[in-house]
Amino acid sequence: MSDDELGDLFRLDGRVAIVTGASRGIGAATAVGLAECGADVVIGARDADALDGVAAAVAERGRRAVAVPGDLSTRDALARLVDAALDDLGRLDIVVNNIGGALPRPFLDTSEKAFEAAFHFNVTTAFDLTQLATPPLLATGGGAVVNIASVAGQFAERGFAAYGTAKAALIHLTRILAQDLAPHIRVNAVCPGSIATPALDIVLQTPELAAEMIARTPLGRLGTPRDIAAAVVYLASPAAAYVTGQVLGVDGGIRGSTLDLGIADYDPAGPGSTREDDHP
């Protein structure tokens, strides 16, 4: 096999992809990366102006983009992405479930509402969009789903009860859906580490914190959205035709949080204590 033939396996000509959370960061880089490899894309997020900028970048690469602004935490909004793919671009081949996130916080400061919101935003949305997309994916003969999880779903650290649990659930959902949807639809996940996206701006603006994150990363740098986009392109392309149910770490080698969150031990005599000597 020649190098050119191997390179062709990464091409996505004639395919149509949906990318959620595509207005910035990993989602925007993924949409543009898929377009560079030949795909047309439907992009969704809240920020309509930012989506228009991503759509323009896709057009510069000779591909079509349909921007669908809206709150993607609802099933109806996710259904509009599928409708746009079919109505405006004629088919659907690839789904990238990228929306998600939750701030770390101490366990006793994590409300039930925050815990459930993290699960919904990171897991239920991926479930919903994948379910909505399955019939049109099957109609094209099969396709690929790529879930953007997190290395936080693979390590145990203080402060990650909501986010870490949600991403761990997304990882396991990936493996289960790979079984449910085989042999025609492949389902895989990417687990980013510390990626220099706008979501980290508040941290990266503090040189000491940025240096700490880099020092705790074996490869000695933060990841870029382009690093994640490259992994998504691989998993969505024919190059990964024999890959399903897998979790690809793109994390610089980290195996824990790259920031010390400073969450102290809980005091047994503090609020909520039930020690006998606390009571008369």
Burial 118-127 (b: 16+ CB within 10 A, else e): bbebbbbbbb
Q: Is the peptide bond before 106 cis (omega within 30 degrees of 0)?
A: no
- 45: tokens are 């997020």
Q: Rounded distance, CA 38 to CA 242, Å?
A: 21
Catalytic residue status for 163: yes
Estimate to the nearest angstrom the gap between the alpha carbon of 256 and the chain centroid. 18
Q: Which residues pair with 102 in a beta bridge?
A: none
How far is C-alpha 168 from the chain's CA centre? 12
Tokens of 38: 């030949």
**For residues 33 and 250, is the Cβ–Cβ distance under 8 A?**
no
Report the catalytic residues: 163
